[in-house]
Amino acid sequence: MMKAVCLLSGGMDSSTLAYLARDMGFDLYAVHFNYGQRTESRERLAAATIAGLLDAEEFLEVDLGYLSRIGASSLTDHSMVVDGFVEGDRIPNTYVPFRNANLLAIATSFAEARGAEAIFIGVQSQDYSGYPDCRPTFIEAFQKAVDLGTKDDTRITIRAPFINMNKSDIIRKGLELGVPYQHTWSCYRNEERACGECGACHYRREAFSRLGLRDPIQYEKE
Amino acid sequence: MMKAVCLLSGGMDSSTLAYLARDMGFDLYAVHFNYGQRTESRERLAAATIAGLLDAEEFLEVDLGYLSRIGASSLTDHSMVVDGFVEGDRIPNTYVPFRNANLLAIATSFAEARGAEAIFIGVQSQDYSGYPDCRPTFIEAFQKAVDLGTKDDTRITIRAPFINMNKSDIIRKGLELGVPYQHTWSCYRNEERACGECGACHYRREAFSRLGLRDPIQYEKE
């Protein structure tokens, strides 16, 4: 059986990703990151639920508490106010410096230790409009670092199947795969009812509404 | 003042590196990693001492406990026996999968958050004979990932000044800079008296003896 490490935050994209990897025939090694973000417990619950539903071989939880101490992001520095949806070129203050490289490095260590041949990461086109570590060119550069920085007989491919998809495309795909979106969590601010206003909520709601669908999670204001 | 993040394990190479960066005029942001290695407390003490002697601006300790859970290395899996000095092409079982990418990713997050323009890492030629993530080509590939994965106005250069030096060259340089080698620690096995036999001890003793010098730390067998 082929093995894949899957980065599973518990959000809409990564949950769809896990369903897709399973559908492609991979045994799943899920890795979930706690980096001191405000909504960590809710995200963790979502990720564990999805991993359980998909019979993952392992659910590795990694604490990146150092990212809070490094700071410089409203996701991890709770004295900063989380940016709402940001238009244009400015990088939102939710940017955690070089976060995806941290996540991919860990995923690669995990994959090499388990003999997995793929790493699934859910970055997609709307992310890389803002975050530099979501750009396709970054993923390609990191792949090169993986090729050179692991054993010569290790072959690990980073798969980012959503990189050219928008969130509506992802939901459409996820509904085909039976992803239970009611168990996923995206909001950056709240853990009970989603705020509906942060960047993550903004894109999520917009994606469902473009498809003429209602998001199954609850929002503070409908 | 220029700022540099310096990876400081507390060993001979990274301690010399910190003295070199200071000598080049950088303010130091030291980062020390605990990844469940056997000799962590001794290494931590060494690193903290060196950072203190050099008036580092920050001493960031990062716990990479997940590397123990990922396993596959005798450094972090205490049920495995640490390889002695390994000749030839085989990678010693002290290899921690893709470790240096984990370390460099964290260092880059730290550097970007603090506005540091350099990251100093002490990899050197004897390392990359065995460990794939010490090869110059890996460091170059990672630099590219840093350039593409950070903000467009961030400029961070990975400096590996020892990459073409052997340990004797490093000690010679360190003695010019006044590095107090009695406060550094290299042994992979012991915390009181160095074992003298693991790969780290082997290279360290050999380097001092090539210079006709006595290593100031204590060994089990002299």
Dihedral (CA of B213, B21, A96, A73) sign: positive
Q: With the C-alpha atoms ordered B53, B182, B180, B14, is the resulting torsion angle positive or negative?
A: negative
Measure in Å the smallest separation between the Cα of B139 and chain A Cα atoms: 8
pTM here is 0.88
Chain B positions with Cβ closer than 8 Å to A: 60, 62-63, 65-67, 69-72, 91, 95-102, 104-106, 108-110, 112-113, 132-133, 135, 137-138, 141-142, 144-152
CA distances B137 to A146, B87, B163, Å, are: 11, 22, 11
Q: Do B60 and A71 touch (CB under 8 A)?
A: no
As beta bridge partners, residue B97 has none
Q: Do B70 and A91 touch (CB under 8 A)?
A: no
| Amino acid present at A19 | Y
pLDDT of residue A152 exceeding 80, the answer is yes
Could you tell me if A59 and A53 are in contact, meaning their C-beta atoms sit under 8 angstroms apart? Answer: no
ipTM of the complex: 0.85
Percentage of residues of chain B with pLDDT beyond 70:
90
Cα separation, B152 vs B154, in Å, equals 6
Rounded to the nearest angstrom, the gap between the alpha carbon of residue A21 and the centroid of all alpha carbons in its chain is 14
Return phi, psi of residue A115, to 5°.
70, 30
pLDDT tens per residue across span A6-63: 999 999 999 999 999 999 999 999 999 997 777 889 999 999 999 999 999 999 999 9
Segment B41-58, tens digit of pLDDT: 999 999 999 999 999 999
Mean pLDDT on B76-89? 67
Residues 6+ apart with CB under 8 A from A170: A12, A13, A16, A124, A162, A207
For B167-192, write each residue's pLDDT tens digit. 999 999 999 999 999 999 988 888 88
pLDDT at residue number B17: 98
CB contact under 8 A, A98 and B108: yes
The per-type count for chain B, helices as H runs and strands as E runs, is 8, 5
Give the domains, in start order, of chain A with CATH numbers. 2-210 (3.40.50.620)
CB contact under 8 Å between A62 and B63, yes or no, is: no
Taking any CB pair shorter than 8 Å as contact, residues of chain A touching chain B are: 60, 62-63, 65-67, 69-72, 91, 95-102, 104-106, 108-110, 112-113, 132-133, 135, 137-138, 141-142, 144-152
Taking the C-alpha atoms of residue B80 and residue B74, their distance in angstroms, rounded to an integer, is 5
For residue A160, the one-letter residue type is A
Size of interface A-B (CB pairs under 8 A): 132
- Residues of chain A with Cβ-Cβ distance to B77 below 8 Å are none
Confidence band, pLDDT 50/70/90 cuts, at residue A73:
confident
According to DSSP, residue B117 is labeled -
| Long-range CB contact pairs, A178-181, < 8 A, 24+ | A178/A19, A179/A15, A179/A16, A179/A19, A180/A50, A180/A53, A181/A12, A181/A15, A181/A215, A181/A216, A181/A217
Three-class SS state of A67: helix
CB contact under 8 A, B98 and A112: yes
Query: Are A109 and B102 in contact (CB < 8 Å)?
Result: yes
Question: Is there a contact between B102 and A106 if contact means CB atoms under 8 Å apart?
Answer: yes
